[in-house]
Structure 1
Amino acid sequence: MRLIFITLLTLIIASAIGLGTTYVTATKGTDLGTLKIGAWTARPKTGTSDVDPYSRAIIVRSGELPVGTGDGVAFIATADDNDKPLDGRCDVVVSGVTPAARFWTLTLYNPKGQLVANTLQRHGFTSQEVIRGADGQFEVRVASRARAGNWLPTGGIERYALMLRLYDTPVGVATRTQRDAPMPQIATVGCP
């Protein structure tokens, strides 16, 4: 009787651990094949047949359609360069340059992966419409109240994510450093 009890207890504990780790990796992801430059994170292999099983599970669970390797790469940021979570009640500045790409988009999403609702229906900028300085650099202000220049309204939500998609770019699996791919800086400049 004791042997049966210990065997059942062991199976229950092993099942709980297995299901728990599967749930965590399918929702939070892993660092397999992850490219991190500053506050930006990308998984260049998600649009290929070489995608790892954990990333594949995340894609299936979220229903998102990843950018294919031949098309480009998508970077996401949920915190600024100082690891402070992006807060829609604060003013955040995304500035600098992007890596070489034929076209890029910068889009604002809520934590569930949906576009952030706002009265202007402004959800992002493209490389063709963003206002740049004489040196080619840009500055996008992400804030709840109107700002001059390139402004993305947050609607005052507490947390959000920025997604930078680079199309027709050499950035990919071989990229490792800021020098290989100069990513825009993200700074929180004001918070109530």
Structure 2
Amino acid sequence: MRLLTGSLLAFLIATLVGLGATYLALTRGAAFGALTIGSWTAFPKTGTIDADPYARAAIARTGRLVTGVGDGVSFTADHDDKGKPLDGRCDVTVSGITPQARFWTLTLYSTSGSLAANSLNRPGFTSQEIVRHADGTFEIAVTPRAHAGNWLPTGGIERYVLVLQLYDTPVGVSTKAGREVPMPAIATGDCR
């Protein structure tokens, strides 16, 4: 009887730990094969046949359409280059250049995965509409208050995620080191 009770208790604990770990992996985006460059992280194998089971389960759970590796790659950032979480009440600057791509978009999402609402109904920028400096670099102000130039309003939300989608780009599964690819810098300024 003692052996049966011990076995059932061990089975119950193992089941709870396994289900809990699976839940965390699905809700926290713990897929394998991450490509991290600065503050930006991508999972280039997610849109391929080589996607790990956790990535497939997360896609099935959320119902999001992923970009195939032949089409492009999607980078996300939820913190600046110093590790500070992106706060919609702070002035954040995204600056520099993007990796080589035929087209790209930079979009502001809430942490729940929906487009962040703001007064201008502007969820992001594209490579076609961004105003650049003479040397080809750009600067985007991600702030709650109006700003001259490329301004992406946050609507004052507490936390947000930036998504940089690169289309028709060589960046992806074959990229191994962060120094191979230039990514925009993310810096946090004043918070109010």
Fold-level match, TM-score > 0.5? yes
Give the corresponding residue for 1:34.
34
Per-residue CA deviations over 1:62-110 (Å, capped at 9, x if unaligned) read: 1110111111000000000001000000000000000000000000000
Give the corresponding residue for 1:76.
76
5 Å matches for 1:46-125?
46-125=46-125
Q: CA deviation at 1:157?
A: 0.3
- Distance in 2 (alpha carbons) for counterparts of 1:122 and 1:30: 30
C-alpha contact (below 8 Å) 2:25/2:31 kept by paired residues? no
Matched position secondary structure for 2:95? strand
Instruction: Out of 124-133 and 53-62, give the one that drifted further.
Output: 53-62
Matched position secondary structure for 1:179? helix
Matched position secondary structure for 2:17? helix
Q: CA deviation at 1:4?
A: 2.0
C-alpha contact (below 8 Å) 2:36/2:178 kept by paired residues? no
State the number of aligned residues.
192
Per-residue CA deviations over 1:96-134 (Å, capped at 9, x if unaligned) read: 000000000000000011001112100100000000000
Give the corresponding residue for 2:137.
137
Give me the identity figure in percent.
63
Q: Indicate whether 1:152 and 2:152 are aligned.
A: yes
RMSD of equivalent CA atoms: 1.0
- Distance in 2 (alpha carbons) for counterparts of 1:168 and 1:33: 20
Instruction: Out of 51-60 and 76-85, give the one that drifted further.
Output: 51-60
C-alpha contact (below 8 Å) 1:37/1:176 kept by paired residues? no
C-alpha contact (below 8 Å) 2:31/2:52 kept by paired residues? no
Q: CA deviation at 1:190?
A: 1.2
- Scaled by the length of structure 2, the TM-score of the pair is 0.97
- Scaled by the length of structure 1, the TM-score of the pair is 0.97
- Distance in 1 (alpha carbons) for counterparts of 2:152 and 2:176: 29
Q: CA deviation at 1:180?
A: 1.6
Structure 1 stretches of 4+ with a deviation exceeding 4 A read: none
